[in-house]
Amino acid sequence: MSRKDFYIDGQWVGSKGTLTREIVDPASYEVIGHVSLATAEDVEAAVSAARRAFERQIGPEGLDVAARIALLRRIADIMERRQEDLAQAISAEIGVPISYARSGHAAAGAAHIRILCEEMERFSFEWMQTDTLVTRVPIGVAALITPWNVPVNQIVIKVAPALGAGCAVILKPSEIAPGNARIIAEILDEAGVPPGLFNLIHGDGEGAGAALSSHPDIDMVSFTGSTRAGVAVSRNAAPTVKRVGLELGGKSANILLPDADFAEAVAKGVKGCFANSGQACSAPSRMLVPQDRMEEAAAVAAETAAGFATGDPRDPGTDLGPVAGEAQWTRIQGLIESGIAEGARLVAGGPGLPEGLASGAYVRPTVFADVAPDMAIAQQEIFGPVLSIIGYRDEDDAVRIANGTVYGLAAYVQGRDLDRVRAVGRRLRAGRVHLNYPVLDRTAPFGGFRQSGNGREQGRYGLEEFLEYSALIGHGHG
């Protein structure tokens, strides 16, 4: 990346400090660039620019709803034109196979924005309630802290609704994968976002992240990442009583009811778990099957895992690229070893590099059967291509196991009897419950229960996160 890594007040600027971080290709461990890390002075400059821009936005010269929708549509148009640039950056930085970087990552940005524009056209920002005018107004200056695993998606579902609501924002993407965020900043600049309404800085959680979440002139922090980091953000934000939106970890259960087509349901469950190299917070990483169907499920899962082509993400034939880096690889290896040590039955994959690969952050597509619900691999978010198959006695037992973690982001239920599938789905404590592997609904609210976070993103629900209610009571008579 360039020495002018930050976008503040409508200009590309350099950091006030000298600290940088290497950008590493996880497929080869080759250093492919460096990115500056923000100092406290850099953070202050970004927050000040956003505060000034917000004051202009809520004044007479600010963008009204129609103008904000038009701006978002320009952003979506340019994002579609630069989709290949985004895909290449994502593939290089986090090892996503190029075909999936295009279809599953880069394409999501414009799709989310267009849906948001449609929602905004029918969204009520104000209405009369007896003699009171109830209005929904922008919350103010928002700090947006995003992760590396699905970077374009997570940036867009924060930046777009924040701008749509009328907020000013400071984006701090993951320092592991900063290149795609720079492209997005270039897109917003070309689209004509007024100076200061969007600002980009880079940095780590302990530095820039902590400075943003504790800053008194920031009204809201929207954070996606680990539960551990979400706790730190909440603590930093507490003294200034700012709003905090959190989308955190998950350990999603996938319940296969006895009448499910196991050949299809197990195979799709494995593919869902391994998508993005397993690096998805809503991945169906716990497959729950009737105890007497364990052998059948294990056989299908092992066969499906063996069919994954693991290798160079630039090869169009690759299904599974590396995980995001060496630290991530080492953590996943430790959890695979813990599964073996605790007595789970390894039916596919295992520790070490896949056959034929001598280096890189590649993980063998791994399936464990006969997993006990309290094992580490059934409780901890692995964030890699590792599936745990757990047996259950009956429906009540399945629901108990499914709800038996600290998380509650997503869940899955498969079966032929739709009434039963829905009944089981209603009992699951998760923000999204996917019934029979549905087509993705980008208008549905996304977020979690318990230690998976709070608040909701996507569609109108994401817009509402950045709005505050205000009531103008009476007729204004003296």
Using CB atoms within 10 A of its CB, is residue 61 exposed (0-12), middle (13-18) or buried (19+)? exposed
| The one catalytic residue among 281, 381, 457, 465 | 281
What b-and-e string marks burial along 346-376, b requiring 16 or more CB atoms within 10 Å of the CB? bbbbbbebbeeeeebbbbbbbbbbbbebebb
| The one catalytic residue among 93, 175, 247, 457 | 247
**In Å, how far are 121, 156, 360, 439, 443 from 163, measured between CA atoms?**
15, 10, 39, 28, 18
Give catalytic status of residue 281 as yes or no.
yes
473: left (phi over 0), alpha (psi -120 to 50) or beta: beta
For 18, residues 6+ apart whose C-beta sits below 8 A from its C-beta are: none
Name 366's bridge partners. 386
- Distance from CA of residue 220 to its chain's centroid? 18
Cα–Cα dist 101/196, whole Å: 30
Give catalytic status of residue 247 as yes or no.
yes
Contact 6, 185 (CB under 8 A): no
Using CB atoms within 10 A of its CB, is residue 46 exposed (0-12), middle (13-18) or buried (19+)? buried
Helix axes 65-81, 107-121, angle to 10 degrees: 160
Which residues are tagged catalytic?
Answer: 247, 281
